[in-house]
Structure formats: C-alpha cells, structure tokens
Amino acid sequence: MRLRVNPLLLGWGLGILGLVALAGLWVLLVPPGPKELRIAAGQRGGAYAATAEAYAAALRAQGLEATVVHTDGAVDNLALLRARRVDLALVQGGLAGTAAPAEARERDEGLVSLGSVFFEPAWFFVQAGMPAVTRQALLGRRIAVGPEGSGSRALALALLDANGIPADQVTLLSFVGMRAATALLDGEADAAFFVSAQAHAPIAALMRVPDRARLVDFAPWADAYARLLPYLTPVTLPRSGFSLAEDLPEADVRLLAPAAYVAARADINPQVAALVAGVMRRTHADRQGFAAEGRFPAILNQELPVQPDARRFIERGPPLLQSWLPFHWAVFIDRLLVLAVPALTVALPLLRFAPPLWRWSVERRIWRRYADLARLEGRVADPDAPLDDAARQEVLARLARLEARVATMTVPHAFLHRIFTLRRDIAFLRRQLARQA
C-alpha cells in the first residue's frame, strides 16, 4: 500500500512544530526576568543596610519589587544567599570562594560576584601604652573582635592566623560597636577590631583619645599582608583625614581593607545582573572615603567568579537596550533577539516550501472539479450502459451544478486559464450529450 502524504497538512504540521520549538526555546533559553529581588543587607544603621536601601529604591524605579532583608552581618548575608533565601547579598571580601575554608568553597560553587563596591578598612585600636603590634605583643591579649559569625571576627582571625597566632592563644571578646570601644578605654580589653567603610561612632570615640587608644599603622607590613591575603588592599588614612580641625590622625596611617562586593547566585537572570551593575555604578561612582571618583564598581580581588554580564557592564558600560528602554521592555526585546537565530532556522525551510504548497493548494481545488467532470464523462462515454433520456437529464443537471460551482471559484490570476479550460471542457461534454440526444 502506497502512503500518500498531503503536502498542505505536512506544511501545517511543520509550522506547528516550529512554533512549539520556538516556544520551548523562549522559556528555556531566555527565561523572563524576576518580578522581585531580595537583598541581604546586614544590621540596621550600617553601611550595608544603607547601600541595600539605595539599591532597592533604584530597582523599584525600574519596575522591580525589591525587599531589604536585615541580618546580623556579612557572614549571615552569605549564608542566606547559599540557602537561596535571598537573591543578592552584600559580602565582605575574604568570606567566600577561594578565600573561604575548604568546606565552604563547595557551597560557594553556585555563587558569582557582580563586582566590588567600596573598601571596608580594618581599624585596629590598641591601648596607647601597648608596645609595637607584633606576634609576641599580641599573644595572650584580650581582643574585641565582634560576635561569632561576624565579618570583623572572620577578618581578625585571618590576620592573627597570618601572624602565626592560634585563636586559643588570645582571648577573643564578642564585644561590638560602642561596647568594644568602652571595653578598650576601661581596660577590659587590650585591643578592639572594627571593619567599617566609615569612621562610625565607636571609631570616632577612640580616634579622639589618642592618649588612651592608638590606631595601628600597618605600613611596615601592608605589602606582606596583601601578599598573604590577596583580598586585602592597603589604603591610607591621611594626616587629619579623620578631623582637620583636631589634626587627627597626626600622621598618615596605613590600613588594610577588604572590598565589599555584591554576590548573587550563578543562575541570576543576565538582564538583572546588568541592571544591578548599573545600579551599583550610579550608587558608588562618586568619590568615597578611601577611593577616588569612578573607582567603583570594580573587578577587584574577586574570590568568586564574576558574572559575565556584570563584567561587561563594568568594563564597557550598559547594554544598548537598557540605555534607551525601561528594564522590562529591554528584557522582552532581548529575548526576541536571542530567539532570532533559531526562528530563522525554522522559518527559512518553511519559506522554501511555502510557494510550492501554495500552488499545490490552488491546483488541488481545480483538480477536484476536474475529477467530478471525469466521472460524468465516464458515464456518458460508457458503451455498455447507454444513457436514456432520464439519465441524460440527470447528467445535464449535474453538469449545471458543476459549472455553477466553478463559476464561483476564486483563484489567483495566474490560474484563471485553468478555470477557463475547465469551463470549456464542461461545455464540450454538454455538446456530446446533445449529439447523443
């Protein structure tokens, strides 16, 4: 049995399959952007919280719902991101990726960085009478480093470890903020460690009593620390940089600074990554306390892989569509452009078959009428069953109906000659019937 394939049905089938394939690509290859972003922001009143609030306001202006999630600090931010409970997190340099302990690196494999946004210097204060800050001088000391899981505690432990000082050979105090500053001034602690982008109240309180508390100058060891801990960048607090009126400090002080960065999951929508990079630029491009104008956002000592779209934005500027269109329109058009190649791949073969299919569909309508005429002609010309008057009248009536049907057919001009030929053949058969009568 010979299988006959209807070209028209084949064309429709290919077209439907193509549309289904494009719909699948639309969903799988270019997922739509999210409608909401959750940002882990650290403690209320801190630099991270202020930064997250600025991000949220800018994202809302682009039509995205943005929620700021307050936490206990940078370590907590990173934990929430690992648990997929937030979409973005402000993270202190040195806590994730290559700088993290081996057991944490596996958890960070699905994370990326969108770029660094500001320096967070380590402010290490000791009692004024304490000798030079060396390994021997620190052994057995009481040091306020912040609570368990805080970014300041993590950095303090890394610095102690770089000096070969095990954590069990010093007394680590969980004091934070003004409590740590007060403990140092009251003799309850020998040193206090802060990590902050600004000289907030506890740091300011200690800076103003240089006869009781001394800010450690890391200048002699800055390069060595930066070599051992690559996420640290030496920065300078210039003379009178804290207060020109009070001439504080009285000389340049070299500090060690990790760079805070924005972390996200590796499956972040590419357009969202570029959008957040743009928000970071508008928020941090101005001059900062320890960075010149335009220094941030930056690709700086990244311990996580940098998301490609964020890298392109930082290095080359915003995508063209986002420069001219609102975010959601830019995402929609970008999805269409991504689908252009597979769409053309599907459409070109269909376009190649379209003209033959179109001609076949028109000719098929004409040949169906020819088939009707051929059946009538076979009955008229059958020598074994000559027509009587009644049969002849029936054939004439069927010819009349066929001719009326042909007369109402609408076909392109290129096929009109086929219609005229068909009508001529109908007239020819009618004449044969007249001769037989």
- Give the pLDDT confidence of 107-163 residue by residue, as tens digits: 788 899 999 999 999 999 999 888 767 788 888 999 999 988 788 999 999 999 999
Give the lowest-confidence range in 7-16, 194-203, 297-306, 368-377.
7-16
Residue range(s) defining the domain that contains residue 386: 350-436
Highest average pLDDT, of 13-17, 279-283, 316-320, 433-437, comes from 279-283
- Is the per-residue pLDDT at 21 higher than 80? no
Q: What percent of the chain has pLDDT over 70?
A: 81
* Residue 45 located in a structural domain: no
- Among 36-40, 101-105, 267-271, 362-366, name the one with the lowest average pLDDT: 101-105
C-alpha span between 78 and 25 (Å, rounded): 33
Q: What is the mean pLDDT of the chain?
A: 83
Is residue 420 included in any domain, yes or no?
yes
Structural domain contains residue 406: yes
Identify the band that residue 190 occupies on the pLDDT scale cut at 50, 70 and 90: very high
Q: Is residue 86 part of a domain?
A: no
Q: How far apart are CA 298 and CA 114, in angstroms?
A: 9
What is the total count of domains within the chain? 1
398 within some domain: yes
Give the global pTM.
0.69
**The two structure tokens encoding residue 336:** 């269409």
343 in a structural domain: no
143 found inside a domain: no
Could you read off the pLDDT of 313-347 as tens digits, one per residue? 888 776 655 555 555 555 556 656 655 666 666 66
Cβ-based neighbour number of residue 156 at 10 Å:
25
β-sheet bridge partners, residue 213: 127
The residue assigned the tokens 């959601």 is 328
User: If 0-12 CB within 10 Å is exposed, 13-18 middle and 19+ buried, where does residue 118 land?
Assistant: buried
